[in-house]
Every structure is written in C-alpha cells, then in structure tokens.
Amino acid sequence: MLHTYPKRVVVIMLVLTAVVAVFPLWGPAVFGAQSDFLMEKLTLMLILALFAMSLDLLVGIVGLVSLGHALFFGLGAYTLALASPDFSPAAIWWMVPLVMLVSALAALVVGFLVIRTRGIFFIMTTLAFGQMLYYFVNTSRHTGGTDGVFIMFRPSVELGGAVLLDLDNPLTFFYLCLALVVVGYLFLRWLTRSFYGQVLDGIHDNEHRMEALGYATSHYKLVAFVISGVMASIAGMLAAMQYGFANPAQLGWHASGEVLMMLILGGMGTIFGPILGAFAYEILQHTFEHLTPHWPILMGLTIILAVLILPRGIAGLIIDPPSRARLAKSPLLRWLKPGQAAPTSEAVKPAASAPSREG
C-alpha cells in the first residue's frame, strides 16, 4: 500500500536517528578535534533534510515539480535577518510565527498564481517567481543586496525571564534541528496517511479524474503548497540562524536545483528518502571537493547516474532491495503465490484490516 513501508525502513531510520542523536557522545572519540565541525555539518544536514522533506510534499506526493522552492527557504532566512533587532536577540515566540506568517502569505499568493499551471509550465512559473524574489533581494536597498546581511544574534528562547534554551550553544541548536526534523517527518507522515494525503495521492495519479469526481483539486494543491512553503521557510530560518548570515544566493534557482537533487538521491514521495538524500548529497559533495578540483564533474555524473539507474533513490533501495526485487519478479515466487498479479514486497504482505496504514 502507498506510504506503507517494510519494517526495515522504520528500523533503519530509527537506528540512523539514534546514531545522529548521540553523535555528541561518540563524535569526539572517533573524530577528535574535528568533531565540533562535524556536528556543525550534521546540523546543517538536518536543516537541509527539513528543506528537502518540505519539497517532497510538493514533488513526491502531489507531483508538482517546483524549481523555485528556494524562494521560501530564502524568505525564512531574510525574514529572520530583517526582523531581528540589531543589538539584541529577537524572541523566538514572535519570530517563528512571523516567519511562518510571511512565508504562508507568500506561498498563498505565489501558489494562487502557479497552481493554475501544469507540468512544464508549473516548473517554469515557480522558477520565475523564485528569480523574481532573487533579483528583488539582490537589488533592493533594504536587504543588503548581493553582499547579504548579518544576523548578529540568534533568537532567544525565554519564558518569563528564564532562558529555556540557549540556541548559541551548538549542542542545543543541534538538538533543536534534530527535533524539528523528527517533528517535521512525523507531521508529513501523518499528513500523507490522512484522508487529505489520500486526496493528494489521487491528484498525483490522476488530477483530471479527481476533478470529475467532484474535488476542487486546486484547493488541495494550494494547501499543500502553503504547508510546503512554510516548512521550507523554517528550514531557511534555521540556516540563517546557524551562521548568522543570509544571502540572495540562498534563493536562486541553483539552490532550488540542489534540493531537487537531494530528493532524487534520497527517493521522492517517501518523506524519509529526502532526509537520506540531504545527507547523501552533502557527504558526496564534501568528499568530491576533497578528491579533485574538478568535483562538479563527479557531482554531475552522480546525478545523471542516479536519474538513469536509480530513479527511486536510496529509499527505493531500502524498500525494494535489488535482490528481493529480482526475486519478487521471478517466476518462482509467482508460482509459489498464485493470485498475486504483481508480487512486490508490499503486495505480498497480507493486507491489514480496513485502511489502517501501519508500517
């Protein structure tokens, strides 16, 4: 069944989360002096994972390929940068709602315009809106232009004068990002398995039929667009917080292209895939840069190969390990289990009662 995955997915994801979560314990022992840097890198990967996940809702679930998603990432970063006071930290209690509000409004307006278009036109119009904001930020007097802006203080998390979280502490910030990725994942998992998610699946499969059935598909798509945009803006806000810096390059189309690459590497439409994709992409780039000054060739070839031979990404490998998949297609299995027309690993599993989608 759609959005139900074999148990090993849960196991692998839990193990990986645990490994990352206890990194502060084993990192220094393994990496020594480098461990601080690696934790910072992990934090960044978590932020990108959140970003990639938000795009997956749009691309993988609804089937809307956006080439302008960095718009919302950048919007989150710039909202934080421009709304932060110069000489004191902003309170997170109003900063987060503000970022969400700004991005939701932007997503509503942009979404209203782009949702009407389909296929290639959707790709192109999202690209155009991304570029529009990019050039606006680039040339506007209030945004620091091409040089970008500093955010001198990370927002404070205080309640009645008591500091709840010290975001300047790298460890705290790391766990905040980790927690947000987990929350984001659970939220999207819930969303895709809810009836609303089922409608989105329907739209992905056959939007025309959904219209004929009686659904106002554009409303559903718009809501998904807004949710996705808000999540991306939170990721952008975190990214800007991490280094205290926002720059127009964060919202150009190259940034949008990169996050798409994370999706394809990880496996889209699975929500957990893009998390893996973000990590894989960053690790690959880090490695290639160390390997050769001509790293873009390696990166480019990796993407091309992934598209050609691994279209379902890492997630696809986990859900259907190559050997299993081959076995499943083999006549032997069909012979053993008559009546199963397409014995993929999902279909082989005995169907659960009613539509409860455990997994």
Interacting positions 259-278 with other proteins (CB under 8 A): 260-261, 264, 268
Binders of other proteins among 11-50, rule CB under 8 A?
33-34, 36-38, 40-41, 44
Among 83, 91, 128, 284, binds other proteins (CB under 8 A): 128
Q: Angle 268-37-47 (CA atoms, 0-180°, nearest 5)?
A: 30
Per-residue CA distances from 355 to 1, 2, 194, 271, 352 (Å):
9, 11, 10, 20, 7
CB of 122 to other proteins, least distance (A): 9
Strand, helix or coil for residue 164: strand
Among 153, 175, 187, 295, binds other proteins (CB under 8 A): 295
CB of 222 to other proteins, least distance (A): 8
Give the tokens for residue 210. 């959904």
Strand, helix or coil for residue 48: helix
Residue 355 neighbours by CB distance under 10 Å: 9
Q: Judged by CB under 8 A, which stretch of 6-14, 17-25, 180-188, 345-353 contacts other proteins?
A: 345-353
Size of the site for other proteins (CB under 8 A): 103
- Distance from the Cα of residue 257 to its chain's centroid: 13
Q: Judged by CB under 8 A, which stretch of 9-17, 88-96, 154-162, 188-196 contacts other proteins?
A: 188-196
How far apart are alpha carbons 251 and 268 in whole angstroms?
A: 22
What residues have CB less than 8 Å from 54, skipping those under 6 apart? Answer: 69, 72, 184, 227, 228, 229, 230, 231, 232, 235
Is 247 a binding residue for other proteins by CB under 8 A? The answer is yes
Among 169, 206, 287, 330, binds other proteins (CB under 8 A): 206
Is 294 a binding residue for other proteins by CB under 8 A? The answer is yes
Residue 356 neighbours by CB distance under 10 Å: 9
Residue 214's nearest CA partner among 229, 199, 204 is 199
| Per-residue contact string for residues 296-315; x = within reach of other proteins by CB under 8 A | xx-xxxxxx-xxx--x----
CB of 273 to other proteins, least distance (A): 14
Binders of other proteins among 50-109, rule CB under 8 A?
59, 63, 65, 67
Among 78, 129, 185, 279, binds other proteins (CB under 8 A): 129
Residue whose CB is less far from other proteins, 33 or 162? 33
Residue whose CB is less far from other proteins, 257 or 359? 257
